[in-house]
Amino acid sequence: MEKKKKLSLNILLNILLIVAGLLYLFPFYITLVNSMKDRAQMNASVLGLPNSFDLQYYIKAMEKMNFLGGFLNSLLIAVASIGCIVILSSMTAWMLVRTKSKLSTVMFYSFVATMIIPFQAVMMPLMQFMGLLNNNLGLPMLNHRFGLIYMYIGFGAGMAVFLYHGFIRGSIPASLEEAATIDGCSKWRTFWKIVFPMLKPTTVTVIILDIIWIWNDFLLPSLALSSKDLRTIPLSTFYFFGQFTIEWNMAMSGLILTIIPVVIFYMFAQKYIIKGVAEGALK
């Protein structure tokens, strides 16, 4: 009887998981099928399959949204932001773990506190402050890639420091660093030769989570960038939604083109997520 109950429970759980998965994929299905329809087909049936699997709207969407320019802008901003987040946050977390003082504890919890502050609560004061830096000091903080990268580093550092801090504290013994110091390694060399290579699981996790966030982010680029040549991929797709008309088929095609790169990246790197979070944040 107990085996039958367990079997029935497993079957029920599997059914629920399948239903939940289908519900999760349903918006993606709607976006995909409607990206290959004309207006008449979309008005006739939003859920139905297209009459023909034609990629003409993808080609038109790429031309209208300047896909290559937006892709290069998004790629440059994401790579520069994530590279700085990984390097600066890993070094900061290492020093906070190895420095035993009240100040290091306060600084660590300050980083953690930034994770719970919603961006909407600080976006207007942030833009005003960046405007002051831009206008009075001449720093390229608005309508410039540097300013957007700088802000991404600030918003991404809290989570990265939290993950690195937990991994270093739980998985990297201080005796390794002491042995390296005895052998004549400086702090700089000890970090890059001993500590940083051991941070690979957490580093990959930070990269994956941040690239999904930065690549898909719309709000911060829409506030910081105004030039057409600096548009990221999400900003480019937004301009299919006009004030009086919406080109739904090309908008859907643009959205599919937007998510394809990050989906491909995620497929190759997903195995590191659970490992990195489990070994980092939970230790």
pLDDT value for 272: 67
Distance CA 177, CA 196 (A): 12
pLDDT value for 1: 60
Contact assessment for residue 41 and residue 56, using Cβ atoms and an 8 Å cutoff: no
Q: Please provide the distance, in angstroms rounded to a whole number, between the alpha carbons at the two ends of the chain.
A: 39
Residue 35 one-letter amino acid: S
Spans of the chain, pLDDT less than 70: 1-2, 242-245, 272-283
246 strand-pairing partners: 241
C-beta contacts of 109-114 below 8 A and 24+ residues apart: 111/157, 111/158, 111/161, 111/162, 112/158, 112/161, 112/162, 113/158, 114/155, 114/157, 114/158
Segment 32-90, tens digit of pLDDT: 888 888 777 877 777 888 877 778 888 888 888 888 888 999 999 999 999 999 999 99
What does the DSSP assignment read for 26-52?
Answer: HHHHHHHHHTT--HHHHHH-SSSPPSS
Q: What structural domains does the chain harbor?
A: 67-280 (1.10.3720.10)
pTM of the model: 0.83
φ/ψ (deg, to 5) at 94: -60, -45
pLDDT value for 243: 57
